[in-house]
Amino acid sequence: MVIESYLYEKLNGEVRCKTCWHNCKIKNERWGICNVRKNENGKLMVYNYGLASSIALDPIEKKPLHNYKPGSKVLSFGSISCNFKCDHCQNFEISFADLSYPYLRELSPEDVLRLCRERRADGIAWTYNEPSIWHEFALDASKLVKDRGFFVVYVTNGYMTPEAVDQFDQFKALDAANVDVKAFDQRFYSKICKAKLESVLRTVEYMHKKGIFVEITYLVIPDENDSKEEISEFAKWVVSVDKSIPVHFSRFHPDFKMLDKPMTPVKKIEEAIEIAKNEGLEYVYAGNVWGHKYENTYCPNCGKLLIEREGFYVRKINLNDTRCPECGYKQRIVL
């Protein structure tokens, strides 16, 4: 299904897309960077409305979201393409795919609601590839499922514009987001992602301001974004936004065009966690390290084990409402 974009401006035959921070200025019969939006005679048309490449029922911890609805199940949806060009993309089969991808399934917003009910999900997640790529469909389906009592989460590279966030906020149709901050250095973003770090940081700050529950993932890549200085500066920035924002330091494994890098040593993940905690972050997690103690949630005030996990699975939640049972400290956790 092809529809007109919800966010663009007309410029004397050209159009400017306002869905993501690239703000593509597109000539007639040309496509934007995402390869799913096209200028057709002065109208920006969206070609991937409802086209799903991936649908799966996941633990919310897999997103990863650890402090929002722990132990819940989300029905996850992905489409095709991306507005980044990351060399280390772990979902490159769909993120670098175009509209000729052979395994696309066309859905309506009503199909999303029906599938949520059939699979007994607690909410939905727009994930796998960059969800702002199908902003219009994600918005329409999210409005519908929210109205029926389901929650909505985004797993995103953080390149949605404030205008795109506002369209969700208008209907309170986005509850939580895990944002990838892929490094804390513009050199990395220019070289690896073909994007701007500052725009990602502004999105995180804006989402938080709007009351969206934000968690952040930082994929630690050996010799690319793993210096103590860079991790420290990143952690200081998160603290400046809100020290209670959960941060996941995730272990890299070689993929796509970055096969020459080794898997991140677990000690590097532990080092990043200690740096972040020393800078004042309250909730810091180890990602892609199955069975590590920092998969768990601890009280930032007294250190009490609050949520015990094994991989993506919650084994025990030990809270009095959202307070620590040991010291009474109120946690930034949504149950």
Residue 68 backbone phi and psi in degrees, to 5: -115, 115
3-state secondary structure of 49: coil
* 316 within domain boundaries: no
d(CA 67, CA 241): 17
162 and 235 part of one domain: yes
170 and 289 part of one domain: yes
Which regions of 252-290 does DSSP assign to beta strands (E)?
284-287
The pLDDT assigned to 42 comes to 97
Sign of the Cα torsion 77, 79, 84, 85 reads positive
pLDDT interval class at 326 (50, 70, 90):
very high
Give me the amino acid identity at 161.
T
pLDDT interval class at 191 (50, 70, 90):
very high
87 and 9 part of one domain: no
How many domains does the chain divide into? 2
Element (H, E) at 158: none
76 and 218 part of one domain: yes
130 and 215 part of one domain: yes
User: Mean per-residue pLDDT for 54-82?
Assistant: 98
Query: Residue 100: which residues within 8 A CB-CB, separation 6 or more?
Result: none
Flag whether the pTM goes above 0.95. Answer: yes
Listing DSSP states for 188-228 in one string gives: HIIIIISS-HHHHHHHHHHHHHTT-EEEEEEEE-TTTS--H
* 105 within domain boundaries: yes
* 180 within domain boundaries: yes
Q: Are 20 and 48 spatial neighbours (Cβ–Cβ below 8 Å)?
A: no
- CATH number of the domain bearing residue 233: 3.20.20.70
- Give the residue numbers spanning the domain of 42: 3-46
15 and 114 part of one domain: no
Q: Are 38 and 22 spatial neighbours (Cβ–Cβ below 8 Å)?
A: no
d(CA 157, CA 317): 29
The pLDDT assigned to 99 comes to 95
Interval 69-96: pLDDT, tens:
999 999 999 999 999 999 999 999 999 9
Listing DSSP states for 74-134 in one string gives: EEEEE-S--S---TT-TTHHHHT--TT-TT-EE--HHHHHHHHHHTT-SEEEE-SS-GGGG
* 307 within domain boundaries: no
Q: Are 158 and 181 spatial neighbours (Cβ–Cβ below 8 Å)?
A: yes
How much is the mean pLDDT over the chain? 97
* Sequence-separated contacts (24+) of 30-36 with Cβ below 8 Å: 33/83, 34/81, 34/82, 34/83, 34/133, 35/81, 35/98, 35/99, 36/80, 36/81, 36/99, 36/133, 36/134
User: Mean per-residue pLDDT for 152-178?
Assistant: 98
The pLDDT assigned to 25 comes to 98
Q: Which of 180, 36, 160, 190 is nearest to 98 (CA)?
A: 36
User: Mean per-residue pLDDT for 320-327?
Assistant: 97
The pLDDT assigned to 73 comes to 98
65 and 182 part of one domain: yes
Interval 208-260: pLDDT, tens:
999 999 999 999 999 999 999 999 999 999 999 999 999 999 999 999 999 99
The pLDDT assigned to 335 comes to 97
Q: Angle formed by the axes of helices 228-241 and 197-209, to 10°?
A: 30
* 313 within domain boundaries: no
The pLDDT assigned to 19 comes to 98
8 and 34 part of one domain: yes
pLDDT interval class at 6 (50, 70, 90):
very high
pLDDT interval class at 27 (50, 70, 90):
very high
Burial class (CB in 10 A: 0-12, 13-18, 19+), 330: exposed
CA 112 to mean position of chain CA atoms: 19
The pLDDT assigned to 173 comes to 98
pLDDT above 90 coverage of the chain, percent:
100
pLDDT interval class at 100 (50, 70, 90):
very high
Give me the amino acid identity at 263.
M
The pLDDT assigned to 212 comes to 98
